[in-house]
Amino acid sequence: MPSLGADMDAGTVVEWAVAPGDHVHRGDLVAAVETEKSVIDVECFEDGVVERLLVPVGTKVAVGTPLAVIAPEGATPAPTPAPTPALTPAPAPAAGTPERDGAASLPRATPPVRRFAERLGLDVARLPGTGPHGTVTHADVRAAASTGTTARTDTTDTTDTTDTTVPSPTPTVPPAAPAERPRITPYARRLAAERGTPPEALRPGADGVVRARDVPAGTGATPTRTPRPTPQPTRPTTPPSPRPAAQGMRAAIAARMTRSLAIPQYHVDSVLELGAPLDRLREVNRRLPVSERIVPAALLLHATARAARRVPELNGHWVDDTLVPATTVALGVVVSLRGGGLLVPTIPAADELTLSELMAALRDVVARARTGRLRTSDAADAGLTVTDLGETGGHSVHGRIFPPQVALVGFGAVVRRPWAEGDLLGVRPTVTATLTGDHRATDGVVGGRFLHAIDDVLHDTEEWS
């Protein structure tokens, strides 16, 4: 069980994306873990074969508890008891019941291979596997699709146990593959199970993903239209209670902010002039596709990450009455959720990214946070957090430090203000930057140096690459 934040003690496995025998690679998403604030996708950091799953779905375990065993590629799996089932295990055939089509056994295939076969309309149970231990691979699926001799997935007649599919005597247009099943978020999957709605009855939103709001409120596969009862004149005496997920998130935020109150904090403010940086940013954006253009928030994050490299005293943790400097600039980004609440995903090694790379990382991590699909790499401990209220129109923000960090940087909206340049007075775009520091680790002079470093980076375009 990974640690997804300094205040996390335990997590609950809500979904397994792999099963024993599946081949996994570094970076694959293998499980989903629920914390007090969100559901996080767990990434695999080794190549190998899943030998067994140690924690069943729905089980809450402490941080550090082993979740699964991954054997090296080619290793002979040790005999083990029946593995823990994944989220939706297929039922085993009853004793004495002949298996469909006389197949000796169900070939093993990784989830991506299964989905690939489904998109092509192929039944993975009927495909010969050429991988280790008979595993069906992508190559096996492509070969079956190209020959056209393998039975397709179940059609109208499911009682005939004889495979009657034959090659077409003349070249024909292959049948359209069935639509790929929409992706379902773990929370939506759990909510559907609680309400008795099968996954195949769920309809995705505009982005093709089934979320909690897409799950019908009542039981049954498809909600039916029924006559509405006569409205009652009485009004509810109590407001509706918050959703459990929202309650858990607010409780987690409250606990962390209560801990933050015990930190002796100081604040330093500075108004930064953005005329030249924004002019340069417009020039850069003119050469980029619309989907890749850089927003001012990314420019401010980039400057903060580079400033943390110059003033390392504000990038680290306060542990056992000692400042432990961070070895890299892992930048936490406060993300407000559409339904309320906050998440703080992390952009690792942010100081090593170019401005364009940081914009791409920011876009990806915010999207995952707001769709409830954060990964373990997104939830690593940050050494410094940034909050930006530019979208809200707030001119400045004095945030509270996320313990055990020792600083937080806040940015307000970009506004046009009178600005003196020498003896001349003009109007320039500006932003108010604030730094909240832990007085146990640093003093206000260090905070002032940090804000000055941000200003330097903003006006040094060589730092943008």
Nearest to 334 by CA among 295, 302, 365, 306: 365
Q: What angle do CA 309, 313, 319 make, to 5 degrees?
A: 125
Cα–Cα dist 243/215, whole Å: 14
pLDDT given at position 388: 92
Burial class (CB in 10 A: 0-12, 13-18, 19+), 289: exposed
In the sheet that 374-375 helps form, which strands lie side by side, from edge to edge?
A: 60-62, 10-16, 29-34, 39-43, 374-375
Could you tell me the two tokens for 428?
């320039």
Q: How is residue 310 written in tokens? A: 């110059």
Distance CA 130, CA 144 (A): 12
- Where the chain has pLDDT below 70, the residues are 4-8, 36-38, 75-108, 110-113, 115-116, 118-121, 131-133, 138-139, 142, 145-183, 185-187, 190-191, 194-195, 206-207, 209, 211-213, 217-253, 256
Domains of the chain: 103-147 (4.10.320.10), 183-214 (4.10.320), 265-464 (3.30.559.10)
431 φ, ψ (degrees, to nearest 5): -140, 140
Please state, in angstroms and rounded to a whole number, the distance separating the CA atoms of residues 314 and 325: 8
Query: Residue 311 has what pLDDT?
Result: 96
Q: Which residues contact 299 (CB under 8 A, 6 or more apart)?
A: 277, 281, 355, 458
**By three-state DSSP, how is residue 378 classified?**
helix
pLDDT value at residue 446: 96
What pLDDT is recorded for position 282? 94
DSSP 353-367: S-HHHHHHHHHHHHH
Instruction: State the maximum Cα–Cα separation within the chain, in Å, rounded to a whole number.
Output: 95
Look at residues 301, 283, 269 and name the one whose alpha carbon lies nearest to residue 390: 301
- pLDDT by residue (tens digit) across 307-361? 999 999 999 999 989 999 999 999 999 998 877 778 889 999 999 999 999 999 9
| pLDDT at residue number 301 | 96
